[in-house]
A and B are shown apart, each in its own frame.
Chain A
Amino acid sequence: MNTEFDPKNYRSDLKPVWCPGCGDYSVIAAIARALANLKIRQENVAFISGIGCSSRIAAYASTYGFHGIHGRALPLASGVKVARPDLTVLAAGGDGDGFSIGGNHFLHACRRNVDMTYIVMDNSVYGMTKGQASPTSEADWCGSKLTPEGPSIPPIQPLEVALAAQASYVSRAFTGDLAELTRQIEEAISHKGFSLVHVLSPCVTYRPEQRGYKDRVHQEWTPTSNRAEAFQRLLEDDGFATGTLFVDPRPPYTPMTAAPASMAEIEADFAI
């Protein structure tokens, strides 16, 4: 057996801060498996995250990583990939990080289609700050002191937003199905362009009822590249359908190129 590409080697020896039973454990496990399966060496991966319980994940991989600031994982990751197209770039974080404070970057990352994979651990709550409503919390979820009568605004629909913003790969997985989660992450990394893996990842501490997700999720989607069909599926979605929703083979973002010139040639433009 080739031990070099053993998932264990993709985990750092840092002990996660996560609560026992947190869905996020499955995500680091799936990422390690996916990278091992794809035989991508640790040093050729840059794993970028924001701030939140879920965003701690970057440091739990043995790859290069950047645990940045709240909401800005996507632009930081785009910067890495555009500057160094040879690297495999992963970004990850929570629903608050990605759809609230980082919401604008999410739209533009979908549009820009830089070749990288974005894994959102959605628990419909702000775990790190101890249980406030997130953009995917239900309007009548009354579990937070900040919004004791519920946020009273409808939750965002991340996959609909992603499709509308021209994301070229969109899937949804559940942390309770490690094999499917791993499969999606592998598929997303292999996809050339921006890929969104939306992961239902229970917060057992502030949303204990999410332990019940396992009874609600259903494997449903197989990939389509038909945008109308993908939207149709989302209109019928109960929030728990999983699988690969949409794949568009449009080419990834590349910056402008030009014929090479020496510094002297560039400077000559200023000479009178």
Chain B
Amino acid sequence: MAKTCFSLALTGSGGAGVMTAGQILLDAAARSGLYGLMVRSLGPQIRGGESAAILRIGTAPVSSLGDTCSVLVAVDWGNIERFADEIPLDENSLVIADPDQGEVPPVIVAKSPKIAFVPLKALADTVPGGRVNMIALGLAAALAGFDEAVVAEAIQASLGRKSQEVVDISLQTLRAGMGAATAVRSEAPEIADLACGCSAPAPDNGKHRRWLLSGNAATGLGILRGGVRYCAAYPITPATEVLEWLAGALPKVGGALVQAEDELASINMVVGGSFAGIPSMTATSGPGLSLMVETLGLAVAAEIPLVVCNVMRGGPSTGIPTKSEQSDLNIALFGLHGDAPHVVTAATDIRDCLFTGQWSVQLAEAMQTPVIMLTDQAMGQAQAVIEPLEASPQKTERLVPSENTPNYQRYAVTNSGVSPMAIPGMKGCAYTADGLEHSPLGRPSTQARDHQDQLDKRARKIEAHDYGDAWADIDGEGEIALLTFGSLTGVAREAAETLRARGVPVRVIALRLLMPLRTEDLKRALQGVRRVLVIEQNHSRQFLAYLKSTFDFEAEVVSCARPGPVPIRPQEIVTAATSRDMGDTK
């Protein structure tokens, strides 16, 4: 991917506006006919702390940050130590620093990048009202070979709602920044020449337009497409944006969002909304999911469809709220007490949040079950330029009885395990939903027969469902398989490309359906594989343990696992896949 992709980071302390600059750059990339991914990294301050916008831009869709950072534009040195691990500089990287901001910190120097000094702040001050983030933007845009007019369009789109004056000043500052790039280029021509040879304007004829959105917004849209019309919300990083997006969108389609007093309330409100016949969801992260599990068990027992999107962050406890991890897998799979079969899905990247969001609602409604949809901070709070994805044509359907069904049995024991669910308002079918074990009629029961029948039917409906091909995304062939889920999918795919370029055939299997595990399908997908690399971002290898406990691997199994907050890089996977003595073999 080397030639067709480049990565850069913009850092600065609070108020410097590097996130805005990054956003505009990503927008400009989309307008230039490119794709891109931007991750924001924030310090622990609530507001105003230092921040980093880390971008990767390319000629093909980008769903990984790659191994190196080509260019770092540091507006100042704030608390750069905090991000140093997340910005992989090496001797081929170029750092642009402002000489007026003091010495280049040792953490940067230690990585031996080339350093070019540009008086960023002083340049900004040449424009009355000019801001330093626009100088940084101009530098980055010029080095990337972006057309000034395209960046100007992106500035207009981003800042236009403030005032024309702000836009004009920004454009002037942008030009000063772009001008400064010439000197930098002459200092480090080999790196500074970043252009992907694609500064052609986007084919904007109104027919083919790219989308720029975060994973959390994509989840919101996917869920909305699935037919959710009721959401109860309790804010938590990094899931809040799912809820905020839905707060804006739901009322437009006749739906409603309520802010609850806590997650015990939000999940019960969702159960109530769904019981009342309206497809319902909430979004949360680890601590919130912990509070919800008792009610998720109720939804299993009372057979209430609903979706909880859990955007994973570093845990346990409050952990690292602003950083990504995949350590909520265990609670999603096994957090409910009793025998409580349910469904766990995972989106594979930002674009896939659209599909997996919609699919999760369809699964919940079809099987009358809670679905926990996993995403993670690296996907949820990142922004990407993507090819638009149309809604899946599949309809969301809930099985309901007809009114006045004689001897209506809410929990009838059926072959499929799914029983028609009456909706309040329907005549002649009134019943009481219950978390107590019950007879087919819904009456509380402690009879062994009823317990066995109901346990069987609740398990059967989940096992017997036809999940089609959506259970996993599989690409490639070869004797090595990279088996993963969530935001590591993009990283694994990039590692696979590197391996293939070295003549090592490899296949990537990204599970979208984590529970129930499609063991037969997985067996087929692994046919001919000699070595399986199980890739996950957590400390205790939860994914590996789950797979091993559920599936008989015929191949050698190697673990590639590491906790957050530093993202796993493609190179780590390449190394683990090829080295004989790395990792934990079975």
CB distance from B18 to the nearest CB of A (A): 21
A261 with B277: CB separation less than 8 A:
no
The verdict on B396 contacting chain A, using a C-beta distance below 8 Å, is: no
The verdict on A82 contacting chain B, using a C-beta distance below 8 Å, is: yes
* Chain A residues with CB under 8 A of B298: 68-69
Interface string of A237-266 (1 = CB under 8 A from B): 000000000000000000111111101011
B430 with A43: CB separation less than 8 A:
yes
The verdict on A75 contacting chain B, using a C-beta distance below 8 Å, is: yes
The verdict on A21 contacting chain B, using a C-beta distance below 8 Å, is: no
Stretch binding the partner chain, chosen from B93-101, B432-440, B510-518: B432-440
* Chain A residues with CB under 8 A of B275: 46, 66, 76, 79-80
B230 with A272: CB separation less than 8 A:
no
What's the Cα separation between A47 and B431 when bound, in Å?
A: 10
| Chain A 19-53 residues near chain B, CB threshold 8 A | 41-48
B443 with A43: CB separation less than 8 A:
no
The verdict on A211 contacting chain B, using a C-beta distance below 8 Å, is: no
| Chain B 266-310 residues near chain A, CB threshold 8 A | 266, 268-278, 280, 294-295, 298, 302
B294 with A69: CB separation less than 8 A:
yes
Interface string of B244-274 (1 = CB under 8 A from A): 0001110111101110111011101111111
* Chain B residues with CB under 8 A of A74: 265
What's the Cα separation between A255 and B388 when bound, in Å?
A: 31
8 Å CB contact of A65 from B221, B257, B431: B431
Q: Which residue of A is nearest B31, CB measured?
A: A272
B251 with A257: CB separation less than 8 A:
yes
CB distance from B544 to the nearest CB of A (A): 33
A76 with B268: CB separation less than 8 A:
yes
Q: A263-B224, A272-B209 are in contact. Are A78 and B272 (CB under 8 A)?
A: yes
The verdict on A108 contacting chain B, using a C-beta distance below 8 Å, is: yes
* Chain B residues with CB under 8 A of A67: 432-436, 444
| Chain B 314-364 residues near chain A, CB threshold 8 A | none
Interface string of B208-245 (1 = CB under 8 A from A): 01111100010001001100011010000000000000
8 Å CB contact of A66 from B31, B229, B432: B432
CB distance from B226 to the nearest CB of A (A): 11
The verdict on B107 contacting chain A, using a C-beta distance below 8 Å, is: no
Q: A105-B261, A260-B252, A266-B249 are in contact. Are A79 and B425 (CB under 8 A)?
A: no
Interface string of A72-116 (1 = CB under 8 A from B): 101111111111101100000000000000001101100000000
The verdict on A59 contacting chain B, using a C-beta distance below 8 Å, is: yes
User: Interface size for chain B: under 10, 10 to 19, 20 to 34, or 35 or more residues?
Assistant: 35 or more
Query: Chain B at the A interface: mostly helix, strand, loop or mixed?
Result: mixed
B269 with A66: CB separation less than 8 A:
no
The verdict on B464 contacting chain A, using a C-beta distance below 8 Å, is: no
| 20 examples of A-B residue contacts, CB within 8 angstroms | A44-B424, A59-B432, A65-B430, A65-B432, A66-B434, A75-B232, A75-B260, A82-B258, A83-B273, A84-B277, A104-B261, A108-B260, A255-B257, A256-B247, A258-B251, A260-B253, A260-B254, A265-B252, A270-B221, A272-B209
Q: Which residues of B contact A (CB under 8 A)?
A: 27, 30-31, 157, 202, 209-213, 217, 221, 224-225, 229-230, 232, 247-249, 251-254, 256-258, 260-262, 264-266, 268-278, 280, 294-295, 298, 302, 385, 388, 391, 422, 424-436, 443-444
Query: 20 more A-B contacts (CB under 8 A) besides A256-B257, A260-B253?
Result: A43-B425, A59-B432, A59-B434, A62-B430, A65-B432, A66-B272, A69-B268, A79-B274, A82-B230, A82-B269, A83-B278, A108-B265, A255-B257, A259-B252, A270-B211, A270-B213, A272-B31, A272-B157, A272-B202, A272-B209
Q: Which residues of A contact B (CB under 8 A)?
A: 12, 14, 41-48, 58-59, 62-69, 71-72, 74-84, 86-87, 104-105, 107-108, 255-261, 263, 265-267, 270-272
